[in-house]
Amino acid sequence: MSINSTFPSYKSEGWDKLSDSTLLKPGGVTEPFSIDALHLTIPKEKVNEKIRILDIAAGVGNLSIPASIEFPNSEIVATDYSKGMVDSLKIILEYNKIKNVSTQVVDGQNMVDIESESFDYCFSMFGLIYFPDRLAGMKEMYRVLKSNNSSCTSIGSWQPNAFLPLLLEKSYEQFNGGKKLQSKQPALSLDDKHLFKSELEQAGFKNVVIHSVKHLIKFNDLNPFLSPKNPIVDDFFKLIGDENIDRFKETFITIANSLYPKDENGYFTTEWNCFIGIGEK
């Protein structure tokens, strides 16, 4: 399936809109997966070492912030191509007096200001999946890692049954009389384990392992998931057109209610599934 690079989630302006909202916040949906990625990628014995970590497409720091706490002597560089995201992250770092994370506005597909062979670990949690040229991003990760036989890259991608991408796709299909999406939604661009592994290998990584991780997320209101400020959602709103957004939202809510029954306290419990792909340089 081809990519449609006009999707809002392929553009930095799309993510700027999300940066000042509460939808992507420290401690949000992506944080538990980032903590898993840290544990799967960095050996425990490195906990007090002075390692250098690069967080690519860092958003508001759901990997960088836990990393700064778990690896207090590390030096973390959090990058994102959305200036809005980087500005929000700077405020969070200052407010929480986090000293070992610095920030930079960088496009992960072409990290001109990041020196080659300068990091021990490189992460991109649910960020590289939105690069129109993922392979360029992976090759950049390879370039900036040290050649020391222990450096690794670690990438998070959603699986096809992750709650929000799954519901958006199902709603689109139902809305469109059963017709499937013509191009892959960016949020699911790396939802195939074999493709994921082969792209990491093409970028030069060895001993690639794709882990499967899931977390249960509880919430009682579906509306925040349907905000056009979220470019993942806006991808679909642009496809169906403004005049159909209300009807699309109704379809989404009906499907959610049928797939995820609420508990006695009115909470949905949903499963979010992700792959964490790790490769050694």
Query: Whole-angstrom Cα distance, residue 273 to residue 191?
Result: 10
Q: Which is nearer to ligand SAM, 23 or 253 (CB)?
A: 23
Q: Which is nearer to ligand SAM, 34 or 154 (CB)?
A: 34
- Cβ at position 249, least distance to ligand SAM in Å: 21
Q: Which is nearer to ligand SAM, 133 or 150 (CB)?
A: 133
For the chain, report the end-to-end CA distance as a whole number of angstroms.
29
Give the total residue count for the chain.
281
- Cβ at position 104, least distance to ligand SAM in Å: 10
Tokens found for residue 36: 């898993």
- Cβ at position 263, least distance to ligand SAM in Å: 27
Which residues, other chains included, contact 267 with Cβ-Cβ below 8 Å and sequence gap of 6+?
A: 218, 219, 220
> Nearest to residue 228, comparing CAs of 220, 219, 218, 238?
238
- Cβ at position 58, least distance to ligand SAM in Å: 5
Residues 224 and 192: beta-carbon distance below 8 Å: no
Q: Which is nearer to ligand SAM, 36 or 120 (CB)?
A: 36
Q: Shortest Cβ contact with ligand SAM: which residue?
A: 59
Query: Whole-angstrom Cα distance, residue 156 to residue 143?
Result: 19
- Cβ at position 20, least distance to ligand SAM in Å: 12
Residues 155 and 277: beta-carbon distance below 8 Å: yes
- Cβ at position 82, least distance to ligand SAM in Å: 4
The neighbouring-strand residues paired with 104 are: 79
Q: How far is CA 222 from CA 164, 208, 230, 246, in A?
A: 10, 36, 13, 14
Q: Which is nearer to ligand SAM, 15 or 252 (CB)?
A: 15
Helix (H) or strand (E) holding 15: helix 12-19
Which residues of the shown chain bind ligand SAM in the complex (CB under 6 A)?
A: 12, 15, 24, 30, 34, 57-59, 62-63, 80-82, 85, 107-109, 125-127, 130-131
